[in-house]
Structure 1
Amino acid sequence: MSWAGALTRRLLATPAYWWAGMLLAVGIAGLAWVSRTTPVEGALVVRQALVEHRQAGVLQVSEVELPHVWDEQSPRWEGEARYRLPWPAGLSYSGGDQAPLAMLLPRVGARYRVWLNGQEVADRFWSYEGFVDTSLVPQIVHLPRAWLAAEPVDNHIEIEVRGQPLRKSGLSQVQIGRADALVQRHADLMWWQVYVTWMVAAVSLMLGLMALLLWLNTRERLFGLLAAATFAWAVRLGLSPLETPPMSFEVWYYLQKLSFTAYCGFLYLFMWDLFDYRQGLIRSFVNGLLWLGPFWLAVTVYVDSYAMYWIWMAVITLTSAVALVKLFHRARWGLDANQRLTIVFGAATMATGVRDFAVVNMGFPGDADIRWMTVGSLMLMYALGWVMVRRVSAAMEQVRLLNTELSRKVGEREIELQRLFERLRHVESQRVLEAERRRLTRDMHDGLGSQLVQALNVVRGSGPQVDTAAMAAMLHHALEDLRMTLDSLEPMDGDLPTILGTLRQRIAPAMLAAGVELVWQVQEVPPIPGLEARGVLHVFRCLQEVFANVLKHAQAGRVTVSTRDLGGQVELCVSDDGVGLGRLDGGLSGGGGRGMGNIRLRAAELGVLVSFEEAAPGTCVRFLFPLQRHDPAGSG
């Protein structure tokens, strides 16, 4: 188990670009094996042909080597040409061999017809009015045995080709032989040249959508460049295997070449940002190519100049080569995993393109019918996708770390704020307690203290004969004042009926002794905010003053206490059936007596409106308590 664990840890510690390099080596080895130049069993290759072609109105017949490309002729061929193919020596169908025969055309275009011994056996879009390019996909033509000559050497095969300007018109090497073997070969070519192309286009489109979504969410330039490059490559690949595109040749050619230009340019800028290069001359040159490309290619199509296209492709190829060289140059300064991965796959993709150019255009050994570049771009797409995922993962990890650090700092600040809050609350509680202590001291000094001083003065002034009745009354009054102060300290939570009920216990005996009927019409009302101990005592003092004046001056026989909920206010009304305000000569007379002034002063400290009204008969003192919090002016 120890050696297995060590091996596992060693494998997991291996950098991703090493694994990518090994996978690329296996993939390229697989491509080399698939595209080896082994002949198709049961088929022979035709490498020469006689071709008839009109130049300047003159019919010319010449022998050419296959593959034959019109654009490589001087002057360049246009129009139509008829190829006459010899029957391959050694391909016999005499005797008992009745196997069907066929002819494989890996590349022929842009449209063609085939005759076997004067009989037309294939017509591929010859009369089609729109744009056609049959060279985009491999072609297979079945040769009916009924039309074959008795002797193989007597067979005559003719292929008439109509070319398309700016396209590689002409004819590739032709294979003739057993139909079953060539059909399988045709299926293999279709898979490599068409289906793989569609698959890479789908992968590129998907990668582009992912990069676009990331760019929309992050606005990071790197993802925008990747989205532009992959979308351009998807367009390029999507247009490549279409024999009959739903557009004119000019539009198709322009879009295909422009998308390739955009792919190369945006991919270069993507790598530039990935490798964190500084702004330089080559980057400005690439930006210039992206701006110039649409105009250059439009002129190329308009003037039908294949030379302009070759110049443009040479510039793109040179720029790509310089980009690759700069990538390796950048490697001297150290690269991260994403950059190493991009270099590995970028070099592999470049190698597939070089291989295709060498085999197809320079005659190097290899199967020219199978292109490596598409598969190489697929590997590059996967590498770019991996780089994108790694970059997003790194960004998410960075965000996670930042969130963790932020949570830690917020937690520390919360603890610090909690400590400060506890200190402030302690200080505030101390301040409130000190204020309440001062208030109680002041109230007891002004109320109970003054009454006890008066009682002491009476005792001192009376000598040996003390008026016990007067002394008892004064002490009783002082005791009631003390009790009222203590009652105000009880928690009542702004409940006005409870406050009034407590006061009723204190004043009811005095009212009964004076022969005044107390009518109680107190209803349930909402709690009054801010009516705490200090406010309760103010209410007690105000009502004590009112009842005292009723007993002393009003000559009333009944006093009514009532409450009402007025919506935003609570009304407290104390009314009597006495002589009224106009005939009073005591503390409430004239509207400006000392008793009335004390009531107004205490009500103002509570933020309560108070009014004195004629009740006809009697007097009504009305208090209006607000139901919203109010900090009265001058409250301490």
Structure 2
Amino acid sequence: MPWRYSGTLLLGALLLLFALNALMDTGARVEDVGVQRFDSAWRAVGDGGEEFGPVPMRLPRNCHSRDECEHVYRIRFEHDRTGDGPFALYVPQFTGRIQVALNGVPMADSTLAETSLRQGQGAPQIATVPERLLQPGFNEISVVLSGRLGQGAVGPVFFGPENRLRDDYETAHFLVVGLSRLMDGALLAIGSILLLIWLARRQDQLYLLCATISLSFALTSLAPLIASAFGDFLLMPLNTLRFVAVCLLLPFVWQLTGRTPPVRTRWFLVPGALMMLCFHVLPAAWSMFLLLALFMPLALGLAVLALWQLWRAGVRGRDRTALTLLVAVVVLLALAVRDHLVLSTGVGRAYVLLARFNGPILAFMMGAIVLRGFAEGLSLLEDFNARLRHDVAAARVKLQQAFAREQAQAQRETLAAERMRLMGDLHDGIAGQLVSIVSLSERAQGPVAEEVSRACHSALTDLRLVVDSMEDFGDDLGMMLVAFRDRIQPQLRRSGVRLDWRVHDLPDLPGLTPTLTLGLFRLLQEAVNNAVRHSGSDVVEIESPQQPGQGVRLVVRDHGAGGAQPRRGHYGMENMQRRAVDLGARLIVESDATGTRVIVDLPQRFGAADEAALKG
């Protein structure tokens, strides 16, 4: 839910704000014994006279007018030489420019080392006071305040032992100057990175807008340094960049929330160009009038529209990115309220203003959000690339498998075509010649002719078995055995032997190739021929008894006298054993007075190694 998410963000931001406020409470560290704090002074007016009564030295309106202003404040205090030295003057907070003197001797001048022109605070000033300058009794501190663009202010002045003021000065100087420079460096880095990303992705203006805003705030902060290095003519254009950055907030929010801008982004650069032109052409009074009457209300209106767009996208549209940025803006407004309370009511003793960081912090948050989106996009792209590589690898494997199947299919088709050619040649050539020889032998008379006819019939049957084995039966063992029966049964009939066929419901045997088929044909043919030649039985049985959970068993049985065993000079039994090994089958020969049984236990699947062995 957006309210729960925004509440969590606000709670975390408030805790951070309290911790930051405690860190910025630098004034508590100088409220020490021996340290004098001056919250009011006599202000010089006219030709050096003094205004009646002390004037409070409190930000932000010591000096405020449309023209340049310069006020002189005098502080009289009593010094006891018995205190611990050395002593120092410390001014933690001011705007504009100040010059500090002790008993007429200059001690500090902010114009000599000006580091920041941001409205709200200048760099803290501390000066060691030589012991000889301190007079017994009363001493006088004079502070000359010069307002830039008609505005200037100075806060409390401290006098006391240097070792008790130096720590607070170092902390305040880091928070005012060092931290600002660190943020400027971060904004320059973020802006440069986003600019480089935009150069590679010119169609996405979000990166260009965020880079422009980040660089504008950074260059505005570095305006004094850049102007001192390259010339004062750059001071006004660089300070104008802050206004340009504020004007670009609305198109940035449009791009961030995915809304199509109703006008081109370039039109939001026009107010910045007009503001720069006014400060270069018109008198200072007119420029200040236009700044207060036109440019500042315009910037405020654009900022309000940007906030409204963030509210719509974050709360109504439940866009967490917009909601995060909206909460950040609320926290920055809280910083401004805190500074107002510190300056106007004296709540707390902090002398480091936080609102001066609002612009850079907002730009930093915007850059961080955009870079996070870019990083998340890269992460998604890497995940997509990983999935794509995985899918491509899987597709490559599938293509290789499909290619292998196509190659195998092409090889099978080639072998099938070659088998058909060989089958045709054998049928039309050798088989035709054998049929002719049988026909001639049957016409002739005598035992020689009968022997030739018998031999030709046997050769013809064997040739037809070879031709049948070249047929591709697939994995269908039953069809293969039916083809064997159709070829062997006429031969048995001519020999006066009856075939008792009891082979039914055979399962498929994967891997049954024509080469394996021929080997099984030869094994069964040898078993049948041995039964016909040596058993004396007038019946040969071929059966396949059921073996649940095992391979196929084929049994060739006769009812002869038995006595089947290997004999010297006869290789039938040895050939049968070799063919069984090549098939990966187990061969068992049982022979007794009731007959001979040749048992062939086929494997459940013919392997590639078996076929390779057969080919060998």
Q: How does the TM-score come out when normalised to structure 1?
A: 0.55
Gap change, CA 1:197 and 1:171, over 3 Å in 2? same
2:230 paired with 1:238: no
Name 1:491's counterpart in structure 2. none
Amino-acid identity (%): 19
Q: 1:120: Cα distance to partner?
A: 3.9
Confirm or deny: 8 A CA contact 1:265 1:287 kept in the other structure: no
Name 2:64's counterpart in structure 1. 72
1:271 maps to which of 243, 246, 253 = 253
Give the number of aligned pairs: 437
Counting only pairs closer than 5 Å after superposition, residues 26-65 of structure 1 correspond to structure 2 as 26-33=15-22, 34-35=24-25, 40-41=31-32, 42-52=35-45, 63=51, 65=56
Name 1:105's counterpart in structure 2. 91
Counting only pairs closer than 5 Å after superposition, residues 197-208 of structure 1 correspond to structure 2 as 197-208=180-191
Q: Report the secondary structure of 1:92's partner residue.
A: strand
2:142 paired with 1:150: no
Q: CA RMSD in A?
A: 5.1
1:196 maps to which of 175, 179, 185 = 179
Confirm or deny: 8 A CA contact 1:131 1:245 kept in the other structure: no
Q: 1:83: Cα distance to partner?
A: 1.1
2:291 maps to which of 309, 315, 320 = 309
Q: 1:299: Cα distance to partner?
A: 2.2
Q: Deviations over 1:565-605 (max 9, x none)?
A: xxxxxxxxxxxxxxxxxxxxxxxxxxxxxxxxxxxxxxxxx
CA distance in 1 between partners of 2:232 and 2:290 (Å): 17
Name 1:21's counterpart in structure 2. 10
2:154 paired with 1:172: yes
Gap change, CA 1:82 and 1:179, over 3 Å in 2? farther
Q: 1:445: Cα distance to partner?
A: 11
Counting only pairs closer than 5 Å after superposition, residues 353-392 of structure 1 correspond to structure 2 as 353-356=336-339, 359-360=342-343, 365=347, 369-374=351-356, 380=362, 383-384=365-366, 387-388=369-370, 390-392=372-374
CA distance in 2 between partners of 1:70 and 1:172 (Å): 7
Q: 1:372: Cα distance to partner?
A: 0.9
Q: What code does the residue aligned with 2:37 have?
A: L
Which protein, 1 or 2, shows the higher relative CO under an 8 Å CA cutoff with sep ≥ 6? 2
Confirm or deny: 8 A CA contact 1:49 1:85 kept in the other structure: yes
Q: Report the secondary structure of 1:342's partner residue.
A: helix
Q: What code does the residue aligned with 1:77 have?
A: E
CA distance in 1 between partners of 2:222 and 2:337 (Å): 22
Q: 1:348: Cα distance to partner?
A: 0.9
CA distance in 2 between partners of 1:359 and 1:224 (Å): 37
Q: 1:380: Cα distance to partner?
A: 4.7
Q: What code does the residue aligned with 1:158 have?
A: S
CA distance in 2 between partners of 1:113 and 1:300 (Å): 27
Name 1:140's counterpart in structure 2. 126
Q: Which moved more, 1:364-373 or 1:21-30?
A: 364-373
CA distance in 2 between partners of 1:232 and 1:306 (Å): 21
Q: What code does the residue aligned with 2:355 have?
A: M
Counting only pairs closer than 5 Å after superposition, residues 207-606 of structure 1 correspond to structure 2 as 207-215=190-198, 220-239=204-223, 242=225, 245-258=228-241, 260-280=242-262, 284=263, 288-303=267-282, 304=284, 305-310=287-292, 311-356=294-339, 359-360=342-343, 365=347, 369-374=351-356, 380=362, 383-384=365-366, 387-388=369-370, 390-392=372-374, 394-396=376-378, 398-399=380-381, 402-403=384-385, 406=388, 410=392, 417=399, 421=403, 424-433=406-415, 435-436=417-418
Q: Deviations over 1:505-534 (max 9, x none)?
A: xxxxxxxxxxxxxxxxxxxxxxxxxxxxxx
Q: What code does the residue aligned with 1:345 have?
A: A
CA distance in 1 between partners of 2:238 and 2:64 (Å): 24
Q: 1:213: Cα distance to partner?
A: 5.0
Name 2:482's counterpart in structure 1. none
Name 2:75's counterpart in structure 1. 86
Gap change, CA 1:106 and 1:96, over 3 Å in 2? closer
CA distance in 1 between partners of 2:157 and 2:62 (Å): 20
Confirm or deny: 8 A CA contact 2:218 2:360 kept in the other structure: no
Q: Report the secondary structure of 2:318's partner residue.
A: coil
Confirm or deny: 8 A CA contact 1:15 1:337 kept in the other structure: no
Q: What code does the residue aligned with 1:349 have?
A: L
Q: What code does the residue aligned with 1:371 have?
A: L
Structure 2: 5+ residue runs without aligned partners? 438-616
Confirm or deny: 8 A CA contact 1:229 1:266 kept in the other structure: yes
Gap change, CA 1:420 and 1:222, over 3 Å in 2? same
Q: What code does the residue aligned with 1:30 have?
A: A
Structure 1: 5+ residue runs without aligned partners? 1-13, 54-58, 456-636
Q: 1:448: Cα distance to partner?
A: 9.6
Name 1:116's counterpart in structure 2. 102
Confirm or deny: 8 A CA contact 1:201 1:234 kept in the other structure: yes
Q: How does the TM-score come out when normalised to structure 2?
A: 0.56
Q: Deviations over 1:69-90 (max 9, x none)?
A: 687226x235xx4614031xxx
CA distance in 2 between partners of 1:440 and 1:285 (Å): 82
